[in-house]
Amino acid sequence: MASFDILRLALICVSVATILAIVDSKNKLGKDMRLRSDSRIIIKKGLWTVLVLVVFVTGRHILVPGVDVEQVLKFSQNQYLLQFVSGTTGGDLSTLSLFSLGLAPWMSALIIWRVLQLFKKLELDKITTTRAYVLKMILAIILAAIQSLSIAFTISLEKNGHGTGFTGSTQVYEVAFIMIAGSVFLIWLSNMNELYGLGGPTVLILAGMLINLPSNTLAYLMPIFQSGGWLTGGIVIATAVAGALILTRIAIVMQLSEYRISIKNVLSSSGFYQDTYLPLLVNPAGGMPLMYSMTIMTLPQYFFQLLVVFWPNNKFILYLIENLTLSKMLGITFYVLVLFVLTIGFAFVNVDPDQITETLQQSGDYIENVEPGDPTKKYLTQKIMSLAIVGAIYLELFAGFPLYLGLIDESYTAIVMSISMVFIIVGMETMLNDQVQALWTKNNYQSLL
């Protein structure tokens, strides 16, 4: 069994291990549970999320009509990066279904929108929330069109038009339209879950990543034991499980570790100073940069594959398609740079120094030995930047730089991508756990009267 298969096999235990470790590190959620309004809210939101997941799983099994299944399987095997990234965004390219694109267009649109906000002349910060959402949706639809047309032109559709009623290029556009519609519906579904359920889009992405693990595990286990290598198979499984648990523990420690800044209040007595601090995560960006970096990485692939339909003999386009992958020097370097930049960017998105400075001023708090106002903002920006660099180095060491080993043996590329999946799962389950605990404890206070 290849080393990639060993890590893929180990992913089945990551979810359970993550939940147990998180609950243990943050005091078990179910301890001394009492039926009160908090539990009713969680149950209500949980039932809504279950309904969303039922719709999500159903949509994954609604196949796009008029598609040659064998060509789809061939496409997904040849485009491993696209297939892997699709799995980390709630999609599935192994079968062309209604939700094959997943949330990748929406996630890419959010990144592009954030970049556009850096250009102050566009004044995007001044537009209404509704209009901003519409513009983001339009951008997501454009990206979904590029991705769906790229896939539809690449695979071979049934030439007789069975299942669609159309033939030729018309059939291609119809398949693309169905995939775009499915992506838009999935975006709406994730937004509804964010409003009424638990986890928002995180639940859909997590479900998409874990839904195929049981069948994949059996597929990797059966060849070992059928070949008669029971002892070897047992050692491989034990090694894989141990490695997954160690990797999960490392990810949880980095996800929950804090850097604490001592703060004081102008109205508080000196006896309370030592108990007051401002917590900043050591890795403020979490595991989200990995998922978004992979999403951004696939955009050029989809775009150039669409261009090659119209210019099939263009050597420059063919060169970019071949080399902008995680098994080539150019693609790896591009991914490493994108991962570093997004880690820094997400750190400041998750921890806004402007907002923290304003909150401290309004509450009468201040950082010890730092003046309020602009000096506090500058101090926090420096601290967040330092922590962001620590987080970026951590992600690059585990999920970035090791990709260069794939230039020697491509199996290492798959191993590193599997490690990235572990970090993504840990990050998403931590966020979901935090949301549930926040709902459970928000009214868990004794009356002052």
Supply the Cα-derived Rg of the chain in whole angstroms.
24
CB 96 within 8 A of CB 76: no
Give the pLDDT of residue 77. Answer: 53
pLDDT the model gives residue 185 = 92
Give the model's pLDDT for residue 4.
43
- Check whether residue 88 and residue 173 sit in a common domain: yes
Q: How far apart are alpha carbons 66 and 58 in whole angstroms?
A: 19
Residues 295 and 177 in one domain: no
180 and 273 housed in the same domain: no
Task: Identify the residue with better confidence: 113 or 442.
Answer: 113
pLDDT at 224: 62
d(CA 309, CA 300) in angstroms, rounded, equals 14
> What's the rounded Cα separation, in Å, for the pair 397 and 22?
23
How much is the average pLDDT of 251-271? Answer: 76
Alpha helices for 61-167 (secondary structure H)? 69-78, 80-87, 104-117, 129-154
Checking if the pLDDT of 161 tops 80, the result is: no
- Is 208 a domain residue? no
Specify the pLDDT at position 384.
92
At 394, list the tokens: 């951590």
**pLDDT, position 242:** 82
| Domain shared by 91 and 195, yes or no | yes
Considering 167, 182, 199, which residue would you say is the last residue of a domain?
199
User: Does pLDDT of 183 surpass 50?
Assistant: yes
Any domain includes 129: yes
User: Which of the pair, 435 or 192, is modelled with greater confidence?
Assistant: 192
Q: How far apart are CA 59 and CA 200, in angstroms?
A: 18
Query: Is the same domain home to 183 and 263?
Result: no
Give dist(CA 9, CA 422) in Å, integer.
12
For 15-38, how does the pLDDT look when each residue is reduced to its tens digit (9 = 90+)?
434 444 444 444 444 444 444 555
* % of the chain with per-residue pLDDT over 70: 74
Total number of domains constituting the chain: 2
Whether residue 81 has pLDDT greater than 80: no
The answer as to whether 403 is a domain residue is yes
In this structure, the answer to whether residues 270 and 403 fall within a common structural domain is yes
Residues 182 and 273 in one domain: no
Neighbours of 19 (CB within 10 A): 15
Q: Which segment of 185-189, 224-228, 277-281 scores lowest on mean pLDDT? A: 224-228
Q: What is the mean pLDDT of residues 157-180?
A: 64
pLDDT value of residue 429: 78
What average pLDDT is seen over the chain? 76
Indicate the angle between helix axes 37-60 and 201-210, nearest 10 degrees. Answer: 50
Residue 9 included in any domain: no
User: Which of the two residues, 374 and 20, has the higher pLDDT score?
Assistant: 374
Whether residue 170 is predicted with pLDDT greater than 50 in this model: the reply is: yes
pLDDT of residue 27: 44
- Clarify whether residues 303 and 172 are in a common domain: no
Q: What is the band of 339 on the pLDDT scale with cuts at 50, 70, 90? A: very high
Find the mean pLDDT for residues 158-175: 57
Task: Choose between 120 and 355: higher pLDDT.
Answer: 355
Instruction: Tell whether 171 and 83 lie within a shared domain.
Output: yes
Position 62 scores a pLDDT of 84
Q: Is residue 426 part of a domain?
A: no
Residues 264 and 382 in one domain: yes
Residues 284, 174, single domain; the answer is no
Asked if 28 and 441 count as a contact pair (C-beta separation under 8 A), the reply is no
The parent domain of residue 68 ranges over 48-199
CA 135 vs CA 129, 131, 345: distances in Å: 10, 6, 22
At 397, is the pLDDT very low, low, confident or very high (cuts 50, 70, 90)? very high
Q: Which residue has the higher pLDDT, 412 or 70?
A: 412
Mark whether 192 and 261 lie in a shared domain: no
| CA contacts within 13 A on the Cβ side of 288 | 23
Percentage, residues of the chain above pLDDT 90: 11
Band (pLDDT 50/70/90 cuts) for residue 219 is low
Reported as type and span, the H/E element at residue 298 is: helix 288-310
Residue 72 lies inside a defined structural domain of this protein? yes
Among the ranges 245-254, 266-275, 412-421, which has the highest mean pLDDT value?
A: 245-254
pLDDT at 212: 66
Least confidently predicted of 245-249, 269-273, 419-423 = 269-273
Give the pLDDT band of residue 167 (cuts 50, 70, 90). very low
SS3 for 268?
coil
* pLDDT for 292 beyond 80: yes
Mean pLDDT computed over 284-309: 84
Residue at 351 is within a domain: yes
Please report the pLDDT score of residue 86 as a whole number: 73
Instruction: Write down which residue in 169, 199, 229 finishes a domain.
Output: 199
Region 413-439 average pLDDT: 78
Split at pLDDT 50, 70, 90, the class of 334 is: very high
**pLDDT recorded at residue 141:** 93
pLDDT (0 to 100) of residue 218: 65
Lowest model confidence (mean pLDDT) among 190-194, 268-272, 290-294, 385-389:
268-272
98-112, 206-220, 247-261, 281-295: range with lowest mean pLDDT: 206-220
Distance, C-alpha 256 to centroid of its chain: 18
**CA-based nearest residue to 94, from 67, 113, 125:** 67
User: Strand, helix or coil at 33?
Assistant: coil
Average pLDDT over residues 304-314: 84
Under 8 Å between Cβ of 198 and 80:
no
Domain boundary at 172, 199, 226, which?
199
pLDDT at 14: 47
Residue 12 forms part of a structural domain: no
